[in-house]
A and B are shown apart, each in its own frame.
Chain A
Amino acid sequence: GQQVMQIPQYQHVQEGEDFTTYCNSSTTLSNIQWYKQRPGGHPVFLIQLVKSGEVKKQKRLTFQFGEAKKNSSLHITATQTTDVGTYFCAGWSGGSYIPTFGRGTSLIVHP
């Protein structure tokens, strides 16, 4: 079955440093989503990428979808303490209505 690997599992950064999390799928995806879960909270949808090579930005967050549609990344520029949380990717295969979530990357920002 489809597998979605996400690295790293944890990332400690000093406030102001950049952060990147990577997501790799064993199969070609029709689209990929990113979610953020604050400590003690629930996953919240951030964005969906559909097109090969697509790049989307939300303020300090940059999301990329690989050319082969098998990998994706989330990059945060100049992290802030409000960025703390776990970032999940969720991959969807063509024709499937069931996502496969990565294990998530927990971001810890030190002030």
Chain B
Amino acid sequence: DAGVIQSPRHEVTEMGQEVTLRCKPISGHNSLFWYRQTMMRGLELLIYFNNNVPIDDSGMPEDRFSAKMPNASFSTLKIQPSEPRDSAVYFCASSLMTGRSYEQYFGPGTRLTVT
């Protein structure tokens, strides 16, 4: 199993540009999470999908952020337009929610730098 795959691993962009982060969850998992990690704010949940449907997006900072999950094997997180304060490491995690087991598998992350 390749685990959760994220791309790109590093992204450097200028303020105002559109950024798209990609995630391929583990096959068979029914839940997908997008997180943002910074030194100041720690690990923040942005959005949670279950069976490809967005269930909770209360963590999405503002309208500049959007996330989609068109099928069970692919999700995107888009920032448009990007700002320097969006600089962070963005993690995608997937999970198979069964009964009491909520173990999350994190991808390697995308380190985003907005200049």
Q: Spell out A's residues near B (CB within 8 Å).
A: 30-31, 33, 35, 41-45, 48, 50, 88, 90, 92, 97-99, 101-104
Contact = CB atoms under 8 A, between A and B. Distances in A.
14 contacts: A33-B102, A42-B91, A43-B104, A43-B106, A45-B103, A48-B102, A48-B103, A97-B31, A97-B102, A99-B45, A99-B104, A101-B43, A101-B45, A102-B42
Nearest to B55: A97
**Dominant SS at the B interface?**
strand
A42 B109 contact: yes
Nearest to B107: A42
Nearest to A44: B106
Interface of B: 31, 42-43, 45, 48, 50, 55-56, 91, 93, 97, 100-109
A44 B42 CA distance: 16
A98 B35 CA distance: 12
6 interchain residue pairs of minimum CB distance = A42-B106, A103-B42, A101-B43, A43-B106, A45-B103, A42-B109
A98 B91 contact: no
Contacts of B45: 98-99, 101
Given A92-B102, A97-B102, 4 more contacts: A88-B43, A97-B48, A99-B104, A101-B45
Contacts of A33: 102-104
A52 to B, nearest CB: 14
Contact of A45 (B100, B104, B107): B104
Contacts of A90: 104
A101 B106 CA distance: 14
Contacts of B50: 97
B96 to A, nearest CB: 12
Contacts of A48: 100-103
A104 B103 contact: no
Contacts of B107: 42
Contacts of A41: 108
